Chains A and B, each alone.
Chain A
């Protein structure tokens, strides 16, 4: 496989509704930004790029089949090759990885990965219905199809088994909204307290409206290149940021669509097939897990995402990461719910299973230098969702995973200040970042590692 570099990215403004433009023109906003940031003009880059991969989740929202080719066409990319990927909320992350494959395999030297969703075309509760169609329509949807409800069931189990609290969940909301205060691309830029989060309207007990991301219209685009592609871009006048940002680790995992079908595995199977390298090496951690199992914990049940653990372990192995908390400088993860951010800390090995709640409130996942109005017992160690994540940036599904990629590229290029007009969210000396894209009730998950060279 050839090295793959993430050279540029662009994000449209995420908003509740963007009736001012069609989806093609919203995508072009993100595309134009990425191209301009390379120092190229539309015509030059369009001539150089070898093809594209399109990311969007639902044909229902746009009420348009084959929207991908319409965007590819609008960007002037015909007759170059393109295809659409779809994998629920993980569509953007999968799209990025498909573009990586195109470069790594030698099929392309320069590939555009773009994504969008226009969710404002229907009312919120109809939108929830569309999203709930991503659950088994024979068995799950008719019982009361509602994704917030599905995630709330997972977290009641997490609370019961591990003692996770609603205040720990609320601390995730406070963190991500506060981070987004400094991100001009974010949809919600507000300062909240834990009391505000708990006082917000209850949506699915115990989760309130401020525990849950919002629907959005928006688009994002990234440009990947091989070494040969870099030469072509620079020969045409592109100013590719140095040091380069390289995609060094990719992982994906899956799980059963129906929450009810998830297995409840024994300790030995968990340890053999799912424990991280670090967990396997620690007798203390093995004893900790044995105690959990002795008290009835089974894996993954409905409290954990083995798809996320599988994707993380695969990506870490690919990138040579042994201790994610220490060796990754920041994570942009799929926080559709405060609870799922806590679950994902555990899946990605930032802490052990069962310790996500205390980890959330510890301060380790917060940005340094920002006043969150919280008493945090520990210093920031690995900021999670420094952009504000889905909860505050918004979640135009097909764009979300690519938005994470763009923000990760900017972090590793040390250009957050330039793009945000404010350096507050720049992770100091960021060398390695992880992005995590997640679908359904944990049915598809992708984890990608990006690193600054040199």
Chain B
């Protein structure tokens, strides 16, 4: 039998209270009683709009908006970053851009998020995956589509995948996602 929930989901929020209980007279007994008072808690909304710059990584997002998956590469060693870095971690040299849109790729690791951070809760369950590319030294974090999140299996690791791009770019790393590659 399915286990039924025993708790109601709770959220913040409620009524605005006018008038807080407090002794009418502040005699010593009344003031001493204040030590037994339950704490007052107030809500404090906090919203900020940041102007975030992708800096030297910006071309990657322009590439994804135009259906190209870019990576960066140390010009001397050829060490290649699936998630771009502006400078190589070994030589310190500035990296160059390369196009890996058509590179063979496969799932390196994955999970199915049944819960998540508040921003992503409406999208659960979703599949997060780290992708490895042929002749690329580091991985790329992405969403994996085209698999059943309720039928997760370790067999997904090693599965060939291919990139797909949003038609309308949001200029986020999720402009690209991956699906099982057609054999």
The B95-126 residues at the A interface (CB cut-off 8 A) are: 108-121, 123, 126
B121 partner residues in chain A, CB cutoff 8 A:
125
Query: CB distance A261 to B85 under 8 Å?
Result: yes
B110 partner residues in chain A, CB cutoff 8 A:
153, 156
The B8-38 residues at the A interface (CB cut-off 8 A) are: 11-12, 38
Query: CB distance B143 to A144 under 8 Å?
Result: yes
- A143-B143, A160-B154 known; A261 vs B11 contact (CB < 8 Å): no
Query: CB distance A129 to B117 under 8 Å?
Result: yes
Which one of A174-182, A200-208, A377-385, A405-413 contacts B?
A200-208
Cα distance A20–B54 in the bound complex, in angstroms: 43
Query: CB distance A123 to B108 under 8 Å?
Result: no
- Per-position binary interface string of chain B over residues 151-181, scored 1 when its CB falls under 8 Å from any chain A CB and 0 otherwise: 0101001100000000000001110000000
User: By CB atoms of chain A within 10 A, which of B11, B123, B139 has the most?
Assistant: B139
The A104-129 residues at the B interface (CB cut-off 8 A) are: 123, 125-126, 128-129
A146 partner residues in chain B, CB cutoff 8 A:
113, 115-117, 120, 128
B145 partner residues in chain A, CB cutoff 8 A:
none
Minimum C-beta distance from A386 to chain B (A): 30
Minimum C-beta distance from A378 to chain B (A): 27
- A140-B141, A259-B130 known; A128 vs B154 contact (CB < 8 Å): no
The one of B38, B89, B120 in contact with A144, judged by C-beta atoms closer than 8 angstroms, is B120
Cα distance A138–B175 in the bound complex, in angstroms: 12
- A143-B128, A143-B143 known; A157 vs B109 contact (CB < 8 Å): yes
Query: CB distance B116 to A125 under 8 Å?
Result: yes
Query: CB distance B109 to A153 under 8 Å?
Result: yes
Query: CB distance A123 to B116 under 8 Å?
Result: no
Query: CB distance A143 to B115 under 8 Å?
Result: no
The one of B41, B157, B173 in contact with A160, judged by C-beta atoms closer than 8 angstroms, is B157
User: By CB atoms of chain A within 10 A, which of B44, B52, B89, B173 has the most?
Assistant: B173
Cβ of A19 within 8 Å of any chain B Cβ, yes or no, is: yes
- A63-B44, A144-B143, A302-B109 known; A125 vs B115 contact (CB < 8 Å): yes
Interface residue tally on A, bucketed by range: 35 or more
Query: CB distance B117 to A260 under 8 Å?
Result: no
- A140-B141, A260-B138 known; A126 vs B83 contact (CB < 8 Å): no
B117 partner residues in chain A, CB cutoff 8 A:
125-126, 128-129, 132, 144-146
B140 partner residues in chain A, CB cutoff 8 A:
260
- A146-B120, A258-B141, A259-B141 known; A139 vs B173 contact (CB < 8 Å): yes
The one of A123, A129, A202 in contact with B11, judged by C-beta atoms closer than 8 angstroms, is A123
Cβ of A297 within 8 Å of any chain B Cβ, yes or no, is: no
Minimum C-beta distance from A131 to chain B (A): 8
The one of B12, B52, B138, B158 in contact with A123, judged by C-beta atoms closer than 8 angstroms, is B12
Cα distance A139–B115 in the bound complex, in angstroms: 20
The A121-169 residues at the B interface (CB cut-off 8 A) are: 123, 125-126, 128-129, 132, 137-140, 142-146, 148-150, 152-154, 156-157, 159-160
- Per-position binary interface string of chain A over residues 196-222, scored 1 when its CB falls under 8 Å from any chain B CB and 0 otherwise: 000101111111000000000000000
Query: CB distance A145 to B109 under 8 Å?
Result: no
A83 partner residues in chain B, CB cutoff 8 A:
none
9 shortest interchain CB distances as A-B pairs: A152-B111, A129-B117, A260-B139, A157-B109, A205-B112, A125-B118, A153-B109, A260-B83, A128-B117
Further contacts, 19 of them, CB under 8 A, given A128-B116, A302-B130: A123-B118, A125-B116, A126-B118, A129-B118, A139-B83, A144-B113, A144-B116, A145-B120, A146-B113, A153-B130, A201-B114, A202-B114, A204-B113, A206-B111, A259-B139, A260-B140, A260-B141, A261-B81, A263-B138
Residues of chain B at the chain A interface (Cβ within 8 Å) = 3, 11-12, 38-39, 41, 44, 46, 52, 54, 57, 81-83, 85, 89, 108-121, 123, 126, 128-130, 137-143, 152, 154, 157-158, 172-174
Residues of chain A at the chain B interface (Cβ within 8 Å) = 19-21, 63, 123, 125-126, 128-129, 132, 137-140, 142-146, 148-150, 152-154, 156-157, 159-160, 199, 201-207, 256, 258-264, 302
